[in-house]
Amino acid sequence: MNINDAIKHFGSKTKLAAALGIHPSAVTQWGETIPTTRQYQLQVISKNKLKADQKAA
């Protein structure tokens, strides 16, 4: 998944950060690539609507 998919799902960077319990500036620091552990967290939180990249595994 990329950052744009996650932001679209949650509605904003702020809401994405809130879902993960992190500060919005942390999301900004990712750039386009979401860290692997965060991808898996987002997959669980989104009930598999967002999918972690297979290459990230």
Q: Stretch 43-48: mean pLDDT, rounded? A: 98
Domain 3-49 has CATH 3.65.10.10: no
Place of tokens 């809130």: 18
Predicted local confidence at residue 43, as pLDDT: 98
Residue 14 has pLDDT above 70, yes or no: yes
Question: Other CB atoms closer than 10 Å to residue 10's CB: what's the count?
Answer: 20
> CA Rg, the chain, in Å?
10
Predicted local confidence at residue 34, as pLDDT: 97
Distance CA 7, CA 13 (A): 6
pTM of the full predicted structure? 0.89
Contact 19, 49 (CB under 8 A): no
Residue 55 has pLDDT above 90, yes or no: no
Q: Stretch 36-48: mean pLDDT, rounded? A: 97
33 three-state secondary structure: strand
Residue 56 has pLDDT above 60, yes or no: no
